[in-house]
Amino acid sequence: MTTQLLTGDSWSFRERSPGAQWHPAVTPGCVHTDLLRNKLIPDPFWGRNELDLQWIEERDWEYRLRFEADEALLLEEAVELAADGVDTFATFFLNGREIGRADNMFAAWRWDVKARLRPGPNELRIVFGSAMKYIRANNHRFAVPWEFNDPVGGCVLARKQQSQFGWDWGPRFVTCGVWREIRLEGWSGNRFAHVEISQHHRAPRKGGGGAGGRAVALRLRPEMRRPARRLAYEAVVTLRGSEVAAAGPSALKAGAFEITVPDAELWWPSGLGAQPLHEVTVRALDRDGRVVDAWTRRVGLRTLELVREPDEWGESFKFVVNGTPVFIKGANWIPADSFVAGLDRGRYARDVRAAAAANFNCLRVWGGGIYESEDFYDLCDELGLLVWQDFMFACTLYPSDRAFLKSVEAEARHQVRRLHHRACLALWCGNNELVMTNGPRLRGKLKRGYEELFHKLLPEAVRAHGAGTAYWPTSPWRGDWRHGTGREAGEQRGDTHYWDVWHARHPARDYEKWKFRFVSEFGMQSFCTPKTQATYCPPDDANVFGPSNENHQKNRAGNQIILDYVSRRYRFPKNQAALGYLSQLNQAYAMQIAVEHYRRLMPRCMGALYWQLNDCWPVASWSSIEYTGEWKALHHAARRFYASAAVSAHIIGDEATITGNYRRSTVERVDLYTVYDGPGKKDATLAWEIFHIDGRVLAGGRRKVTLRNGESQRRRSLDPRKLMAAHGRDNLVLRIALEVGGACVGEDSVFLVPPRFIALRRGETRVTVKRGADARHFALTFVSREFQHRFHFDLDGFAHASSDNYFELFPGRAKTVEVTLDRPATAAGVRAALRFGSLVDSYE
């Protein structure tokens, strides 16, 4: 086969209007980034520029590539133009003749161009029609009963990234372009169209060697482009460059053949084992033994199932990998940029590796974005991050006419076949929140159309092409219509989105009221750091409630809700930077309350995916990683509350106010838990101490415990009421810690009142900076005589990654943090760049 890539910077584009000038363009790309590259528009993210760029979505655009076809390509029997992603309504012309049309951003397109391609110069033109013109011309097809995030309306009529039309964390940039690879493919004789690969695990042999001790049969089902009665097939499996299995050449039996990997090394989610990826190569051979074509993919050998079975609480909802139940720890993933075309592996690696570093084992690819790139799934395979994969439908009801269903059928077939072999792929989910947000409207024709799409078409695509991956029709869902989407049902079965905290402004501790089986959305917003704000906010319009920042807050009343939550827990900040810091502490606190509660419920609850990991532009949002890559306080907290071995405290009672705004405490005890979801078992020590804010230790203790996989255990109950009466609850701090092998693996503080009532003390902090293995690695050690809550540091002028931040600095206890810089430095240079503070510095 001969391939000629048509990507790169040799393209041109223009508005499709009389006399419009051609400008340089890049493919993969989109019209917005090409306009920006040519300085024809200002930075879309700066200030309120978004509002001035809405004219782009109303125009038609034209792209052109002039190229010479490779000689080898012209000698092939068949030549096709293949486009992996076209956004969205496009007509293709080769040398002046129309060759095909595209109308679905999520489908792959392929056209025969053998007769149109010629030696010497060729010209490929693509005319992109305005999505908004298409929507207006077709809005008679389906009356959208309710719009949730599209301020103009009609986005559901276009099979196109829904969040381009605006969402409550992202801007409205309805763009167009060739957003994934485009190429010419030439071939002669025959070639693979697809190879389906499924796994069949056999019970481990007694005394079996290898890391797995079990044999895994891979069933391979080749699909050729032309009838292939006289072909034979062979397969080779390699691991780390060494062959571990081979089969064939042989004919197919019932359309398939098998290759068996003995003593297979199994693939595990992060935190439970390694992620070996076997390379499987299938070759088609003619009668003379010559290779007709070859197909290669990386495969992780594992079993993975969604187990829903009756139990003492109702019906389980748990993922089981290689026979081991896995508590799902992670977040929701949105598109990594407002302009997804051309995102490279480095951009994906930044955030996906950050997820793994924070002890995630799962990401949910949310249904209002895109089916992600191969780079994304490669990284998840390599790092052991399971993927809950939504189909691309979110919040609003969709058409169900014949043309729409035909388009979705092609989309689903393509995407399920593309991803079916992925080790990381845990679940296909039909949509995000369509039942939850439209329940009362789902009657009659609308309900029949919904069921046709999400209960027939999509599950059939998964059954036919998904190699056994589970399907779940919507999120949240209880398994059938009669159980609805109410909270009470969520305590018995299915998955839940819980938004009373944030949208309904309930207190963070309301998370503890519900014992859900699996929580796939919950979240709390915060402001981004001053560093990130500086990338979009004019200095004369930097006020957090000013026009620029309001435009970079897409949730209605979001900034006011942040301020409300901050005021409940913290003192009034001394400046805007302090307000941003407090908003991030509040976000981290709320998510910690939720996740620790859900993990304590294990095995009743078997998953927590907070909203959201990442941002698509610089914005105030629910993310734990900012658009610039900065980790918020939440992401550092996630590294702690998602740790395999963790300690947490559950306060029984609360601080309340009564008539007259008088304070009253109902706290009666504090339960200390250990949670463990790592492999095997570990011996550990639980330690605690209650100290006065002046540093005096008033009580404490230690207890040896054994941690076992899948267990949450209450280890000790503390009654603080006598100490509260004697010393005042505003003066007490509880330190809890978990030690394994003499090292502290988890540590935190517990307050019996909101920290705004605690008279924290400002103390001198001693800092030691020590160079590590090279001039980019340093160890920072902090020591203070005073307790410093959520101590944080930064290094001016350096991009850096750190092993911890926004942590507790307890009196007299040294805290060492490993730091990796973006460029070499000296210890003196690092010390000079160091800036730090803690909660007390936000208001004094």
Contacts of the segment 724-727: beta carbons below 8 A, 24+ positions apart: 724/665, 724/667, 724/752, 727/692, 727/698
Given 433, 512, 626, 808, the catalytic residue: 433
**Around 64, how many Cα atoms within 13 Å sit in the side-chain half-sphere?**
16
Token readout for 5 is 């890539």
Query: In percent, how much of the chain has pLDDT > 70?
Result: 99
pLDDT over 90 at 439, yes or no: no
Q: What is the pLDDT of residue 207?
A: 46
d(CA 247, CA 234): 6
Q: What is the pLDDT of residue 656?
A: 85
Q: What is the pLDDT of residue 484?
A: 82
**Around 448, how many Cα atoms within 13 Å sit in the side-chain half-sphere?**
3
Question: Any idea what DSSP says for residue 530?
Answer: H
Q: What is the DSSP string of 434-467?
A: HHHHHGGG--HHHHHHHHIIIIIIHHHHHHHHST
pLDDT over 70 at 345, yes or no: yes
Q: What is the pLDDT of residue 206?
A: 55
* Distance in Å from the first CA to the final CA of the chain: 70
Token readout for 317 is 């909802």
On whether the CB atoms of residues 224 and 190 are closer than 8 A, the answer is yes
pLDDT per residue over 541-599, tens digit each?
999 999 999 999 999 999 999 999 999 999 999 999 999 999 999 999 999 999 999 99
d(CA 388, CA 426): 6
Burial 34-68, CB ≥16 within 10 A → b, else e: bbbeeeebeebbebebbeebeebbebebbbbbeee
pLDDT per residue over 147-171, tens digit each?
888 999 999 999 999 999 999 999 9
Phi, psi (deg, nearest 5) at residue 496: -130, 140
d(CA 161, CA 104): 10
The average pLDDT across 765-780 equals 97
The average pLDDT across 278-287 equals 97
What does the mean pLDDT of the chain come to? Answer: 96
Residue 438's contacts (CB-CB under 8 Å, 6 or more residues apart) are: 145, 146, 396, 397
Q: List Cα–Cα distances, 18 to 23, 60, 91, 151, 176, in angstroms.
A: 15, 12, 18, 31, 20
Query: In percent, how much of the chain has pLDDT > 90?
Result: 95
Q: How many other β-carbons are positioned within 10 Å of the β-carbon of residue 828? A: 9
d(CA 340, CA 376): 12
pLDDT over 60 at 190, yes or no: yes
Phi-psi category of residue 660: left, alpha or beta, with phi > 0 → left and psi -120 to 50 → alpha: left
Residue 356's contacts (CB-CB under 8 Å, 6 or more residues apart) are: 270, 383, 384, 385
Q: What is the pLDDT of residue 657?
A: 84
Q: List Cα–Cα distances, 363 to 28, 468, 594, 634, in angstroms.
A: 25, 20, 17, 16
Annotated catalytic, 433? yes
SS3 letters across 608-657: EEECCCCCCCCCCECCCECCCCCECHHHHHHHHHCCCEEEEEEEECCEEE
pLDDT over 90 at 210, yes or no: no
Q: How many other β-carbons are positioned within 10 Å of the β-carbon of residue 342? A: 20
Q: What is the CA radius of gyration of the chain?
A: 29
The average pLDDT across 436-454 equals 94
Query: Residue 199's beta-bridge partner residues?
Result: 218
pLDDT over 80 at 273, yes or no: yes
d(CA 725, CA 49): 57
Residue 342's contacts (CB-CB under 8 Å, 6 or more residues apart) are: 26, 28, 29, 33, 179
Q: What is the pLDDT of residue 584?
A: 99
Burial of 411 (0-12, 13-18, 19+ CB in 10 A): buried
On whether the CB atoms of residues 26 and 341 are closer than 8 A, the answer is no
In 3D space, the residue among 379, 269, 385, 279 whose CA is nearest the CA of residue 322 turns out to be 269
Q: What is the pLDDT of residue 211?
A: 53
The number of angstroms, rounded, from the C-alpha of 74 to the middle of its chain's C-alpha atoms is 43
Residue 249's contacts (CB-CB under 8 Å, 6 or more residues apart) are: 232, 233, 234, 285, 289
Q: What is the pLDDT of residue 564?
A: 98
pLDDT per residue over 49-89, tens digit each?
999 999 999 999 999 999 999 999 999 999 999 999 999 99
Token readout for 642 is 């998602």
The average pLDDT across 769-784 equals 97
pLDDT per residue over 104-121, tens digit each?
999 999 999 999 999 999
Where do the domains of the chain lie, and which CATH numbers do they carry? Answer: 2-187 (2.60.120.260), 192-299 (2.60.40.10), 325-541+588-644 (3.20.20.80), 645-759 (2.60.40.10), 760-844 (2.60.40.10)
Q: What is the pLDDT of residue 148?
A: 83
In 3D space, the residue among 726, 674, 675 whose CA is nearest the CA of residue 699 turns out to be 726
**Around 415, how many Cα atoms within 13 Å sit in the side-chain half-sphere?**
28
Question: Any idea what DSSP says for residue 432?
Answer: B
In 3D space, the residue among 579, 591, 576 whose CA is nearest the CA of residue 623 turns out to be 591
Interhelix angle 345-357/374-383, rounded to 10 degrees, is: 30
pLDDT per residue over 668-698, tens digit each?
999 999 999 999 999 999 999 999 999 999 9
Q: List Cα–Cα distances, 98 to 90, 95, 109, 124, 186, in angstroms.
A: 11, 8, 14, 10, 20
In 3D space, the residue among 207, 57, 190, 242 whose CA is nearest the CA of residue 136 turns out to be 57
Query: Residue 219's beta-bridge partner residues?
Result: 198, 258
Alpha helices, DSSP H, located in 741-805: none
**pLDDT-derived band of residue 209, with 50, 70 and 90 as boundaries?**
very low
